[in-house]
Amino acid sequence: MGDLTDYRRQIDEIDSQLIPLFEKRMDLALQVARYKQENHLQVLQGGREQQVLNLAVEHLNTKEYADAAIRFMSNIMSISRDLQKKKLAAGQEDLPAPPQGKLGYPGVAGSFSEQALIEYFGKECDRVAYEEFEDVFKAIKRGEIQYGIVPIENSFTGAVSESYDLLRKYGFYIVGEKSIRVDQHLACVRGGSLDTIREVYSHAQGLEQCSEFLKSHKEWKLIPFHNTAIAAKFVSDAKDTGKAAICSECAAQLYGLDLIKPCINNQTGNSTRFIIIGRELEPKEGDKVSVVFSLEDEAGTLYRLLSYFAANHINMVKIESRPMKDVSWRYFLYVDFEGNVESPQSKTALELIKKDAGYFKLLGAYKADRLN
């Protein structure tokens, strides 16, 4: 066993090797910046950065260092991003501007997502439907649309986990939100009835929101679909009285279905909150902020991080945890709080959290929508 001088000597040797490697990495980061500039790519590549973090954990022989390795690599990538942004600032913007006002939503015409989009942007908005939630994020990344909309939370079934994961994966920002009342209806082609139905199609959340009603028809086969409106279209195209959809009244009318049983959702006043996502942060006169940070496996970590909000008199309105996919029993914590991101209280709290957390990202600063 060596003495303290020997340990320090070994550390100095390792550090002397790290600095040239760090310098080489920064040189490569600037080359990447030039490539992104020439090919109109964004600085932040969320999926790529997650791959780097995953590889860092995989290469560890001592897995108990996983949290520290993630923090170390996150800091390195943050420095690289800053260098790239400075390089790009003297040249072109990250991506060509997408068609002004072009908007994307998951599903098809008549979906709740389209309804929320229309209520937020107006009936005349230029909108494009995409099959999956992630397709909306990919369209923003490709520059096909300026903004997208996805559901983030339902008043009965809770968080839409996929949307949270996609936000962190792609690195986009929340620029607005819209809450709408959601009434679910059982719909079928003409001639259908409760007696003819054998299969019911809807989004998994739609089925869950109507679970009490569906319990009284256990003979029905429940089939999750991409979207409530897509389910309505499928039932309409099938022209089979044995098939029914749980969907909005708008979708039923659009696809020529009869309402067999209206308002079958468990709760009256059922509502869903949607978020508007874009490539840039747009704080403007926002009064709500969303962040995500990692929760370290240390005693008192959760208390300490959340105490920064209380110490700065900040009201948290939403907390949601999501597991890290490649590190067991580690979590990302998503927090929404009231306030302007530029206020001294917000800045102080966020700086403290950023300093203490292994991973931190500001997800959005926007105007809250309070459903009456």
Q: What is the DSSP string of 295-351?
A: E-SSTTHHHHHHHHHHHTT--EEEEEEEE-TTSTT-EEEEEEEES-TTSHHHHHHHH
Superfamily of domain 185-264: Periplasmic binding protein-like II (3.40.190.10)
Is residue 94's pLDDT more than 60?
no
Predicted local distance difference test score (pLDDT) of residue 89: 58
Superfamily of domain 4-89: Chorismate mutase (1.20.59.10)
**Which DSSP category does 242 fall into?**
T
- pLDDT tens, residue by residue, 55-66: 777 777 787 777
More confident residue, 44 or 9: 9
> Does 72 qualify as catalytic in the annotation?
no
Q: Nearest Cα to 203, choosing from 180, 177, 234? A: 234
- pLDDT tens, residue by residue, 249-289: 999 999 999 999 999 999 888 899 999 999 998 887 789 99
DSSP output for 200-236: EEEEHHHHHHTHHHHHTTTTSEEEEES-HHHHHHHHH
Which range has the worst mean pLDDT, 38-47, 131-140, 351-360? 38-47
Pick the CATH number of 283-372 from 3.30.70.260, 3.30.465.10, 2.60.40.10, 3.20.20.80: 3.30.70.260
Q: Report pTM.
A: 0.68
**Which DSSP category does 64 fall into?**
G
Which range has the worst mean pLDDT, 20-34, 44-58, 136-150, 294-308? 44-58
Which class in CATH covers the domain with range 99-182+266-280? alpha beta
Residue 97 corresponds to which tokens in the numbers above? 């501007």
Residue 366 corresponds to which tokens in the numbers above? 């926007």
Please say whether the beta carbons of 84 and 36 come within 8 A: yes
Please say whether the beta carbons of 333 and 356 come within 8 A: no
Strands 288-295 and 331-338: antiparallel
Strands 258-261 and 185-188: antiparallel
For 104-140, letters b (16+ CB in 10 Å) and e give bbbbbebbbbbbbbbebbeeeeebebbeebbebbebb
Domain pair 4-89 / 185-264, same fold = no
Instruction: Give the phi and the psi of residue 107 in degrees, each rounded to 5.
Output: 110, -150
Residue 47 burial by CB count (10 A; 0-12/13-18/19+): exposed, middle or buried?
A: exposed
Please say whether the beta carbons of 177 and 276 come within 8 A: yes
Please say whether the beta carbons of 351 and 283 come within 8 A: no
The residue from 112, 225, 274, 309 that is catalytic is: 274
- pLDDT tens, residue by residue, 158-198: 899 999 999 988 999 999 999 999 999 999 999 999 999 99
Q: What are the residue boundaries of the structural domains of the chain, listed by start?
A: 4-89, 99-182+266-280, 185-264, 283-372
The residue from 157, 228, 241, 272 that is catalytic is: 272
> Does 274 qualify as catalytic in the annotation?
yes
- pLDDT tens, residue by residue, 111-120: 999 999 999 9
Residue 21 corresponds to which tokens in the numbers above? 């490697």
